[in-house]
Amino acid sequence: MTVLRALEQSAAPAGLTQLAALSGMQPSKIHRYLVSLGRIGLVSQSPSSGLYDFGPAMRRLGAEALRRMDEVGLASEYLPGLRDRTKHAVNLAVWGDHGPVVVRWDYGSYALPITVRVGATLPLLTSSVGRVYLTYLPATLTEPVIAAQPTVLTGEEIARIKEDVRRDGFAVTSGGVIPGVASVAAPVFTTGGSLPLAVALALPAQHATLEVLRDISAQLLETTKAMSAEIGHQAE
């Protein structure tokens, strides 16, 4: 496993010396492992360059792992803990045909003047979840949704929202969807070309002080980072 992790860290076909440095092993020792891994197809060596890379058996394992992965299920496992730590309602959203769609909602300790139905579509510009997708999805997906929703925001204001979300890593709205409800949302990045998920905390607006928002946004970012890693995303 140490050798395979070294191949992963190299991010490209690598030579024996590089893999030895990455794994912390002597070249002679890692060579023996590479020979054994090559026999079962987990590693292959280029006949022309002599560099090592993942073999066909490893590619089959990776493809099967991705096939079996339920991204929503994996992310959902983190929601009860986030709710219990913050005491606030949490929700998980995916991208749908007309904007973000709520696929899970767990109520917290504070009463909210809202009943959220799983399957509800959230507005793109006025919800924190929507602003996360506005920021991290390509314009080809978001612009048709913006055009279909009434808005008083200018192009400059929309650009500023994206800049703020990218800078902070999360979006904050208050009263944008339901009066009296504030929300903080952050992205969960997935693997390959899959669209991201979004996780949000909802709380009564009167509780959304700067101190509270600072605390829950930090916990949200910590949780979404763990979710992204669990799904297989590698931060740049």
Question: What's the CATH code, domain 2-68?
Answer: 1.10.10.10
Residue pair 149/127 in contact (Cβ under 8 Å)? The answer is: no
> What is the value of pTM for the model shown?
0.71
Domains 2-68 and 71-231 share a fold: no
Measured N-to-C along each axis, helices 27-39 and 16-23 cross at an angle, to the nearest 10 degrees, of 100
What is the CATH number that goes with domain 71-231? Answer: 3.30.450.40
H helical segments located in the chain: 2-10, 16-23, 27-39, 56-68, 71-76, 79-86, 128-136, 139-148, 155-168, 210-231
The span from the CA of 9 to the CA of 138, in Å, is 29
Q: What is the pLDDT of residues 146-177, one digit of tens each?
A: 988 887 888 899 999 999 999 999 999 998 77
Per the model's pLDDT, the better-predicted residue between 235 and 95 turns out to be 95
Report in angstroms the alpha-carbon separations of 158 from 51, 133, 145, 171, 186.
48, 12, 13, 13, 17
Task: Assign residue 183 a region (left: φ > 0; alpha: ψ between -120 and 50; beta: otherwise).
Answer: beta
For the chain, the structural domain boundaries read 2-68, 71-231
Q: Encode pLDDT of 100-117 as tens digits.
A: 988 888 888 888 877 677
